[in-house]
Structure 1
Amino acid sequence: MALNEAPLLFRFEVESSENLTYIPMCVRFNLDRFGLRISLAQWQLLPLEDRLLLARFPVDEDVSTETNFDHALFEMLRTHANVEPEWFAPEEAPAWRDVSIVPGGIAHQAAMASLATPDVDAWARLAPFQRYVLAKLARKPESNHDFVPAMREFGLAAPV
């Protein structure tokens, strides 16, 4: 599978990523997909060109379709930070893949933001990557500053 022509960033990320100072959701998706973990400090040690390249990798669930993300990341980190990413076992059945129920974290984040929780039909209509993003943003119990902008961008909350 070919790289995207440009980094895959949502509108809400463009403002909050500060020119890829922070790890974008497309890179987080691939990190989770391959079972790799890097720190923000490690990410920031990579030159902007490398961060842009990593943000161009496709966000496809099928690991067999793209095996170069992990290799590229390893090489970049060895070259620029003299470290390797940490390995972990990826979740076999993450909540965002289930279209029959909206994950509890999303309901919690929506309640904290005074938004309605998306119903199951709206949840199921989202693209898998959008469901991943919302679940990732809603994984912690404290409010996430990108959750409401993501809900708006995905058509799940009224625009301001």
Structure 2
Amino acid sequence: MGLNEAPLLFHFEVESSENLTFIPMCVRFNLDRFGLRISLAQWQLLPHEDRTLLARFPVEDDIAIEPNFDHALFEMMRTHANVEPDWFTPEDTPAWRIVDAVPDGVLHQANVAQLVAPSTEQWARLEPFKRYVLAKLSRKPEGNHDFVPAMKEFGLAH
């Protein structure tokens, strides 16, 4: 599977990523998938063209589909920031992969935002990447400014 023609950004991200000033969800997904961590400051050291390229990588759950994200990131970080990303061990079964239960964080965020939480059926029908996004936006107890727009964009709120 090749690169997407353009960065994969949700509508709610276009404004909040400020033209890739902030790390978009597609890059966060691939960082988490490969067990890599970079800081916002490190991301911002990369030239815009490199950030755009990283945002064009596919968001498939199968690492074998596109194994070059990590190599590209390492090369870019060495070249432009003179650092390497930090490694961590990804969870075996993150909450977004579980389709028979809505994660507690998503239920909490919906409550904080005064939204009806997605049903288990709605959660199971979501594409894996969209489940990842909602789980990622829900990992902290305080409200996330992108949660409500994401819920609306994914057809889970009005």
TM range (shorter): over 0.9
Distance 1:140 1:86 in 2: 21
- Provide TM-score, normalisation by structure 2: 0.99
Is the aligned partner of 1:69 residue 2:55? no
The answer for the alignment partner of 2:30 in structure 1 is 30
Structure 1 residue 65: Cα displacement? 1.3
The answer for the alignment partner of 1:93 in structure 2 is 93
Distance 2:145 2:111 in 1: 14
Is the aligned partner of 1:142 residue 2:142? yes
Distance 2:95 2:81 in 1: 33
- Provide TM-score, normalisation by structure 1: 0.98
Distance 1:65 1:4 in 2: 13
SS in 2 for 1:65: coil
Stretches of 4+ moved more than 3 A in 1? none
The answer for the alignment partner of 1:109 in structure 2 is 109
The runs of 5 or more residues in structure 1 that have no matched partner are: none
SS in 1 for 2:139: coil
Structure 1 residue 33: Cα displacement? 0.2
1:46-83: per-residue Cα shift (whole Å, max 9, x none)? 00000000000000111111110000000000000000
Distance 2:6 2:56 in 1: 6
Is the aligned partner of 1:133 residue 2:120? no
Distance 1:14 1:57 in 2: 17
The runs of 5 or more residues in structure 2 that have no matched partner are: none
Q: How many equivalent pairs are there?
A: 158
Please provide the CA RMSD for this pair: 0.4
